[in-house]
Structure 1
Amino acid sequence: MSTLSLLSKAATGIQPDRPPYYTLTWRQKQLLLTLSQQPTTLPLLALESEQLLADCLERSPVHLVKLAPDLGEAALALWADACAKVNKPAYLRVPSTPALPKKQNHLKWRLKRLIDWSAAVALLLVVGPLMLGLSFLILFQSPGPIFFSQWRVGERGKLFQILKFRTMITGAELYHHQVMGQQAGLHKCENDPRVTPIGRWMRKYSLDELPQLINVLRGEMSLVGPRPWALYDAVRLSPAVRQRLNALPGITGIWQVTGRSHLRDLDDVNRVDLRYLGTWSLRQDFKILLLTVPKVLSGFGAF
């Protein structure tokens, strides 16, 4: 195991009084990245671009990268993008938890995953024409790509690209923090000016989430599970609830059918998910799926 410090000027996307110092630790072909308060006497490497970082990772024997949450959203996205370029997985470092369905009942969990895959295939065949129609509407309404992808935290902290129909103007992510400001809870805005007219309609009935069935087929998501946190939300979770980030996220879940319209506190949402994980059962998942249907048709809490 070896350790050295890394100085990155571009990693955070901001200009602090002094650039942050990072500590890189190699352990069993894993690269662990954490913040460091003080530089070492070893030479520092300035990473000026995502491509330079990707080139370094490609030449290294590292198999995967683990990133500390306190690195910040911009640095996490930079490393995730670089890892994706060289096909090496990136993980958010999160504390382990025994309260996971996969650990509680392995056989029932395997059955759940089989149901996920089978249902995702069937649903894609059924809603395929609808998805095609939505694709044309998006193209005609607003210039830009049909799909929107974003880094989310998946099982055991693994970062993955969630797929959605694009409901905002092109480049909307650049204005995210301007729109949300210092909002403490979930970064959701009822009158978000970036949302297109067709996007607002799709969001009301959760149609923008249909492409997530592809994430289910990839094994990155389940039909039912905790909310898949975006990086800007994940970095603001308190250490007391970060173990929830070990769970496989779902398209729908207990929060979506019970607290979507009023429960916005990040830690409270995670506590709801932790209770769900602690009492998980296939019967409960089936109940959540049944409750999802009327919530979607009524546009419950969606914007």
Structure 2
Amino acid sequence: MGRFNRNAGTNLYYIFSDCIFCGIAFILASIITEGGVEDFHQGYFAIWLSFLVVYILSGKSLGIYNVTTFFYADRYIIRVTKSFLIATAVTFSLLYYGNGAAINYLLYCCFLLINYALLLFSAFSMHSIMRKYRKTGQRTLIIGHKERYSKFIRFLDQSSIDIEIVGFVSLEDTDEPEYLGSIKDIERLIHEKAVDQIYIMEKQYGNTIDVQSYINICVDMGVTVRVIVNSYYADGAQSYISSVGTYPVLTYHTVTLNESSRAIKRGIDIIGSSVAILIFSPIMLSVAIAIKMESKGPVIFKQTRVGMNGRNFNMFKFRSMCIDAEEKKKDLMQQNEMEGAFMFKMKDDPRITKVGKFIRKTSLDEFPQFFNVLKGDMSLVGTRPPTLDEVEQYERSHWRRISIKPGITGMWQVNGRSTITDFEEIVELDTEYIDKWDVMMDFKIIFQTVWQMFRRRGAY
């Protein structure tokens, strides 16, 4: 498994659920046996923590938290019971050989009984929840003969794999309504359907070069490919092998964020955007008043931008231009300072108002995007969100820069911003961020962004 996806197959929600229920069990046991938790002994916390750690580790080794593990009630009861008995034996040993004289053994036994019932409840409830909301996950195209997928889809239904199947794609040219198109249309379908990942189930159709070329298309665009054979290789992509039932699945990916990384990044986004909105609300109110006093029109400029893998969303900014700025843009395209037509930048843009010049120079116009981050359309750190007309001119390799959520700031902003006029250099910076992402990189970019705001470098 590639180093960026070691935990890609772990159901973190299930682990979190077990932690919560384990805590509830100890609180209930304390209330029943000691009348409350006011005099909670320090040793009790050590017992709870050691039980929880051992249970999760043993459960992970038994495959309880693996998203590809089939949920059969009898098998899960056996696995939960095994993990429970292992954790019980370890904690009992700690009590016996440690200083357990001050521990209420009645509390300990009560905790075990309640905890066993709640851990079983956690297993069944998480399966029910995951099954109910499974089809809201990653948007997935299935390539291959539809009838060959019936068994595979039954395996998916028995697992906790979180995908939304948006349709089937034929291997040959076809007009059949059950297919969205043929594999030759794959690039167009990725654009139209905002696809996150693709499954290919066919060992040979035509020749290996054909398969390789379509894998390369997806890799170039930052779309994850899962091949239900293990005989192909994609240059420049990480890969790892997993399974769905008896089917081996070879996954190619270029995005370093696995499920745990996405959860961490989303947590940082929620906390960071919430704090920023609270702190900067007086400044945002002052900017809104200044904009309203200078010119007629809305305070907030709302524009459709392209997000992760082609999803459209409304991006918010403080209005820094005249109302008819979009119409005037056509007449100014010849003065575009960016190389090519992928982005538009102009230093002395006549459409910008006086207040607009100030808020652009200080980056105050970007502050409403904290609401986009809180909503989930954007991230604090990511790639610059392109406009619809920019994406229409993208080449295949450019698509990979939008294979993650766009950000308020990113590598481009802290490495020169408007001083960089070569779009290919911007793509290179964005893909470098995608390839090398980690939490510390995000914090580093955020601090660099704040520093650049004070320096007012590269903004216009």
How do residues 44-55 of structure 1 correspond to structure 2 at under 5 angstroms?
none
- Say whether residues 1:99 and 2:254 are aligned partners: yes
The 5 A counterparts of 1:74-89 are none
Please, which runs of 5 or more residues in structure 2 have no aligned partner?
A: 1-174, 186-190, 195-220, 225-252
Decide whether the 8 Å contact of 1:156 with 1:247 is kept in 2: yes
Q: Distance in 1 between matches of 2:391 and 2:426?
A: 12
Question: What amino acid is aligned across from residue 295 of structure 2 in structure 1?
Answer: S
Amino acid at match of 1:131: M
- Which shifted more, 228-237 or 120-129? 228-237
C-alpha separation between the residues in 1 aligned to 2:370 and 2:306? 17
Is 1:157 paired with 2:310? yes
Matching of residue 108 in structure 1 with residue 261 in structure 2: yes
Asked if the contact 2:381–2:410 (Cα under 8 Å) also holds between the matched residues in 1, the reply is: yes
Tell me by how many angstroms 1:168 deviates.
0.3
Out of 405, 409, 412, which is 1:252 matched to?
Answer: 409
Partner residue in 2 for 1:201: 358
For 1:264 and 1:153, locate their aligned partners in 2 and report how far apart those are by CA, in whole Å: 21
User: 5+ residue gaps in structure 1?
Assistant: 1-23, 35-63, 68-93
TM-score by length of 2: 0.45
- 1:264 match: 421
Counterpart of 1:200, as a letter, is K
Q: Which runs of 4+ in 1 moved over 3 A?
A: 24-30, 64-67
Q: How much has 1:178 moved relative to structure 2? A: 1.1
| Cα pair distance change 1:257/1:176, threshold 3 Å | same
2:348 aligned partner: 191
User: Is residue 307–residue 385 contact of structure 2 (8 Å, CA) maintained in 1?
Assistant: yes
Partner of 2:296: 143
- Kindly tell me: are residues 139 and 282 of structure 1, through their superposed partners in 2, closer, same or farther at Cα, counting changes over 3 Å? same
Percent identity of paired positions between Structure 1 and Structure 2: 36
Matched, 1:222 2:408: no
Change (3 A) 1:29 1:201: same
- Indicate conservation of the 8 Å contact 1:180/1:187, yes or no: yes
1:124 equivalent in structure 2: 277
Residue 150 of structure 1 aligns to a residue whose secondary structure is strand
Select 1:175's aligned residue among 293, 318, 328.
328
User: CA separation of 1:270/1:26 partners in 2, compared to 1, >3 Å: closer, same or farther?
Assistant: farther
Higher relative contact order (CA 8 A, sep 6+): 1
Post-superposition shift, 1:25? Answer: 10
Give the Å deviation of 1:215.
Answer: 0.3
The residue that corresponds to 1:40 in the other structure is none
Change (3 A) 1:222 1:27: farther
Contact 2:222 2:254 in 1 (8 A): no
CA contact (8 A) 1:241 1:271 kept: no
Residue pair 1:180, 1:189 contacting (<8 A) in 2 also: no
Greater share of residues in helix:
2
1:155 positional shift: 1.1
> Which whole-Å CA distance do the structure 2 matches of 1:182 and 1:95 have between them?
32
The answer to whether the Cα contact below 8 Å between 2:335 and 2:346 also exists between their aligned partners in 1 is no
CA change 1:132–1:181 in 2 (3 A) is same
AA in 2 matched with 1:162: M
Deviation of 1:151 after TM superposition, in Å, equals: 1.2
Tell me if structure 1 keeps the 8 A contact 2:222–2:255: no
Q: How far apart are the structure 2 equivalents of 1:130 and 1:209?
A: 12
Query: How many Å separate the matches in 1 of 2:376 and 2:178?
Result: 27
Contact 1:238–1:267 (Cα < 8 Å) also in 2: no
Query: Scaled by the length of structure 1, what TM-score is found?
Result: 0.67
d(CA) in 1 for partners of 2:326 and 2:401? 25
Question: Counterpart of 2:450?
Answer: 293
Measured after TM superposition, the shift of residue 126 of structure 1 is 0.7
Correspondence for 2:395 among 238, 256, 273: 238
Displacement, 1:261?
A: 3.3
8 Å CA contact 1:117–1:216 kept in 2: the answer is yes
How many aligned residue pairs are there?
221
**Distance in 1 of aligned mates of 2:451 and 2:178:** 49
**Alpha-carbon shift at residue 240 of structure 1 (Å):** 2.0
Q: Distance in 2 between matches of 1:171 and 1:26?
A: 43
